[in-house]
Structure 1
Amino acid sequence: MPKNQSTGALRGLWLLGPALVAGVAYLDPGNVASNMTAGAQYGYLLVWVVVAGNVTAWLIQYLSAKLGVVTGQSLPELLGSRLRNRWARRSYWLQAELVAMATDLAEVIGGAVALNLLFGIPLLLGGVITGTVSMLVLAVHSRRGPRHFEFVIIGLMAIITVGFVAGVFIAPPDPAAVAGGLLPRFDGTGSVLLAASILGATIMPHAIYAHSSLARDRFGSASHGTPAEQERTETSRIRRLLTATRWDVTIAMIIAGSVNLGILLLAAANLAGVEGTDSLEGAHAALEAGLGPVVATFFAVGLLASGLASTSVGAYAGAEIMHGLLHVRIPLLARRLVTLIPALVILGVGVDPTLALVLSQVVLSFGIPFALIPLVALTAQRRTLGVWTNRTWTTVAGIVASVLLVLLNGALLVLVLTGS
């Protein structure tokens, strides 16, 4: 490869990262629980839901990153400047804050459960350890900058991938059954509930908020010279960044989608009909009984890395939500400490971890439209993105995705609250 092409390739690789960090949200303990339960209870039936959710996630995360790259602002910042009424802005912040706290709850619980499975550590102490380690990860962002933070999160993502996918290679699924699972269909109310849970755990509001912030942090404007030169330089820079962003999102979604699909296939091939797999502890026990302690340990290690990585990104997203909507900037570590308290209280009073995970997904369902609809609307506005505004088909796809996700999350709420 010629030197200039080699240099260009390395420069392109250096632009990757924000989507991989945001993509950790697609590998949190809520995803693990939903996909494991779906595979154990319905076999390969809901393979198509994981695939459809991942394709939808690509579009949503790309739009979020594009917003940050082009405007140099995050979605919360843009909303904070557009919502003129102080009470409207505060109300919007409150729902986003509750969603961020619910996300954090699931992730801390996932880390605590993993520590309990691996070392027998009590859940409350496991929650404290998970929170402490996540504070160390956030300290990397505060002291060393976004690039080093990305390296840590990407390293944890690698551990997550190995932990959750290893079992698929040891006990592979039936290829014909996997192909059959690509046909969209349901099998009763329970499968609809699980499908909504999978999508609710996949398309998460805080990932939408976070990705625009991560792109903003990495790609600040660097134009110099005369106004005409600045315009030409900025146009070229944004075009290059958006190309890199598409690759970044594609790689992140391939990894996240493969891991989520791997979890479902592992359960479908080896845990179908096994009792107790609707909880993380039960799934771990079933894996140990069916495939041995090595696969079960890999699963627990992946769950721990999932909890640590996703709770760190969740705390980052929460801080950005507060800064953008309330115009208040508090240190990431202080933010981490405050949002850790609800999770520790729930673990301390002995609430069933699986129930807490389910309830957290219900709260997340409320937040989807508040993040998704403004994202599609802003990226379709010429006054916001100028020449980089969405093409017509992109906006149509975003609207269709928004409608379907809102309807499915509404179905999840109805089914959970009515006990159907």
Structure 2
Amino acid sequence: MALFVYTSLCYLALPFGMVLHLLFIWRRPEFRAGFFQRYGWLPKKQHHPVLIHAASVGELNAIAPLINAIISHLKLPVLVTTTSVTGQARCQQLFAANDRVSWAFLPFDLGLANKLMLWRVKPRAVLLVETELWPNLIASCARKKIPTILVNGRLSERSAKGYARWPWLVAPMLQKITALLVQDQATAQRFLSLGAASNTVSVLGSLKYDLVMPDSYLDVTTMVAGGLCFVCGSTRSGEEASLLQAWSQLPARIEGTLVLVPRHPQRFEEVADLCQQSGLPWLRYTQVSKPSNAQIPSFIDSQQHSRRVLLVDAMGVLFDFYRRADVVFVGGSLADKGGHNPLEPATLGKPVLMGPNCFNFTQVCDQLEQVQALKVTTSAHLLKDMTALLIDPLLRESMGAAGAQLVNQQKGALARNLLFIEAVFEQALKE
């Protein structure tokens, strides 16, 4: 009954949703690709693949080692679905050379769209990453006896309170999931309190600690040469203004480049306006990335100011700037977005600075903070905390080393998840 009500509401909203969808893609051309995939018409490129849904870039980066392990160890093809355009672009970047991996957009959670997708793709299993819980998709898989597994599951206290408002829908949905493989005991307890069956919940640790950084990378040294490099990754609305203000007010002896990497490409122009208004010398990545660009020397050797700003208006190069960074600020944390993944810079041995809104990575941030690899700041204390890190090379070195050591100690969730998934697949074949 609960699912019927939910599905009926979805269909009642469908005409209005389609109009809004068309208006949205009219205003945002980058979202036009995969229009029919959003309604279930996915490509049939693989034979009975494992369907893995990772909403966006962060989830995809976390799950990439598991995707590679499923291909190499279990010898199974994989179809990766995403929700965001940036996630799709990252998927292509990671797996374009691997013919065992295909990708598409996940359909909206409509019964007919899910049925069409499952009929076309015929997945042998569906893996949902972190908090991607869709009632109709899970119910459709259960009816077809397709194993559905939540991998690298996480559930913040805030999200759990939201789900708790809909117990008539959430509890039956959780009970249809084959297994919930979660990151920590707190997440496990929250799923149990929402109605998940105790025999389906397993604490296997976070796959994010098994992050594999790509071997080959872009050399960005010439773009940030001279002085310190302060990289602000995955920044969100409101954060760039605070960072630019603090950067301009640092003590005169601190010289270098502030690198701003917005989370979403549609904000590049907005952030460019902020850079222009700051009064600091600045350039776009797409300007300085051209080998023959004559602006690079004048940008690096600028006499206007000892500190410069580089706006990275391109996707897929964040890790390359993390490698060059002396200090990393991880965005989405001054803004009330829950923060993005601090393990990416910590893996590279970089000291990490974040705002107070880290609820997407509560356990990870707590662990990094406990070993003094991460400093939590606020808008009011941003200038002070930036200064403390940028003037003290020994502090930066000790924080970076502590973070890298923690990541190495916490590795192993990948192997545990793979063993569990393999066992589920074998059981499904026997039934």
Query: What band does the TM-score fall into relative to the shorter chain?
Result: under 0.3
Higher relative contact order structure (alpha carbons within 8 Å, sequence separation ≥ 6): 1
Larger C-alpha radius of gyration, 1 or 2? 2
Task: Name the one with the larger strand percent.
Answer: 2
Task: Name the one with the larger helix percent.
Answer: 1
